[in-house]
Amino acid sequence: MASAAEQLAQNFNFGAFAKAKELKARLWFTLIALIVYRLGTYIPVPGINADMLAQVFESHGKGILGVFDTFAGGALSRMSVFALNIMPYISASIIIQLMTAVSPSLDALKKEGDSGRKQINQYTRYLTVVLAAMQAYGLAVGLESMRGDGLGIDWFFRLTVVVTLVGGTVFLMWIGEQITARGVGNGISLIIFAGIVGSLPVAIGQMFELSRTGSLPIYGALLICVVAIVVIAAIVYMERAQRKIIVQHPKRQVGNKLYAADSTHLPLKLNTAGVIPPIFASSLLLLPATILGFSAAGSTAQPEWLTTMTAWLQHGQPLYMGLYAAMIIFFAFFYTAIIFNPQETADNLRKSGGFVPGMRPGKMTAQHLDAVLTRLTAIGAVYLAAVCLLPEFLIAEYNIPFYLGGTSLLIVVSVTMDTVGQIHAHILAQQYEGLIKKAKLKGNLR
């Protein structure tokens, strides 16, 4: 089965693209929104000591601070208004989805359709503001301790940092929703994608500089490039992999029309959850560790527990690796369970007259779908954890920039494939509309 990119390359013609006015408007809107985001990563928070911040990132930039700075597109190292990026919104989404699974009232809202989803989205926005305020306050305390001016607590500075960072996060949340509604692709994923892509030139430049100075052997740089190519190929292959479950429809009559028996298939992706598990795991793991890192960097007399926690959660440490892998696997199963309901799918098949060969419609079909999906998700979760963690060992071994990590590659490749798929769908829809108009015109002429 050809991928969306291959189908787009085969079917693409400039005439069809020129006629797709809605697609061009969506692409322009998405591009302008991402440019606004990138410009915002260069607007600093008032009252920040840039020299002190540069020193902190020079000494701690290859640790957990640097990892978070990758997803923020360099906004954290510049302490811009978008320093928190979209991570508080993702954390709020995780909490709301977890609560939906255990709260009957939220579950009832979810089943109400569009009105219920709008209400849940509103709760997510409120929680985003709360989480962003807490995280911004933690950063403000860390930044204040970095100044070392001995003036004590500066509440005006803390308030300024909190208001600025929370405002930046809310603005990014709004931009993401606007891209999803009026642009192409998933807005939240594209914002993270833009941040990572914006950091790639700096990362590649750092790698060449390390090779030039001898800090990174030539064979190490070549090995990194080879691993990156292999990881990208593996991501494309695994993201396209799916299990096709045969579904048969018997001969049936609807009104006066008789439908012959036919056979279709139900595609189940190997990685149903997509890129969501690594993003969720990163958001939960990086923000607390980032606040700990700032506190440790700005404090002269550090408590022993703070020093220990900061060391354990450093990039490449066993605890960091273990927590990251465990969170990826958990969210792979959790998010798959949210977006695919075997019982509901089995009921829909039964209502439409379809059945899986060898399985009774209803409960037995649901159990079969659940068993197949569980096995697929287990393989997909291991694949996600391997892709995200294997490059980390190379990074720790050769002391290279973290930007070339597996998580970054996974997000970039997956978001690119999803966006290309949506562009392909828009072009096909435009072509189908043109064919329908031509058919109607011929019918009128006759």
Q: Residue 300 gets which letter from DSSP?
A: S
CB 11 within 8 Å of CB 124? no
Q: Residue 80 gets which letter from DSSP?
A: B
How crowded is the C-beta side of 301, counted as CA atoms within 13 Å? 0
How crowded is the C-beta side of 220, counted as CA atoms within 13 Å? 19
Q: Give pLDDT tens digits for 139-195.
A: 887 777 766 555 567 788 889 989 999 999 999 999 999 999 898 888 888 998 888
Report helix, strand or coil for 54. helix
Tokens representing 377 are: 């998700």
CB 222 within 8 Å of CB 401? no
Give pLDDT, residue 165: 92
CA distance 392 to 430: 43
CA distance 197 to 119: 33
Tokens 């807005």 correspond to: 187
CB 175 within 8 Å of CB 191? yes
Report helix, strand or coil for 254. strand
Which structural domain, as residue segments, surrounds residue 185?
4-445
Give pLDDT, residue 419: 86
CB 73 within 8 Å of CB 41? yes
Give pLDDT, residue 65: 64
Q: Which long-range contacts (CB under 8 A, 24 or more apart) does 105-108 make?
A: none
CA distance 372 to 272: 12
Q: Give pLDDT tens digits for 291-338.
A: 555 555 455 555 666 566 666 666 667 777 888 889 999 989 988 888
Strands 257-259 and 262-269: unpaired
CB 422 within 8 Å of CB 183? no
How crowded is the C-beta side of 62, counted as CA atoms within 13 Å? 15
Contacts of 34 (CB under 8 A, 6+ apart): 179, 190, 191, 194
The amino acid at 340: F
Tokens representing 283 are: 């958001």
Split into its structural domains, the chain has a count of 1
**End-to-end Cα spacing for the chain:** 39
Q: What is the CATH number of the domain that holds 36?
A: 1.10.3370.10
Q: Report which of 400, 304, 356, 401 is spatially closest to residue 70, judged by C-alpha positions.
A: 401
Residue 38 sits at the vertex; the CA angle it makes with 89 and 139, to the nearest 5 degrees, is 50
CB 141 within 8 Å of CB 290? no
Q: Residue 112 gets which letter from DSSP?
A: T
What DSSP string describes 187-247?
A: HHHHHHHHHHHHHHHHHHHHHHHHHHHTSS-HHHHHHHHHHHHHHHHHHHHHHH-EEEEEE
Positions of the chain with pLDDT under 70: 1-19, 50, 54-67, 146-152, 251-261, 286-316, 391-392, 394-405, 431-446
Tokens representing 46 are: 């008032």
CA distance 392 to 387: 9
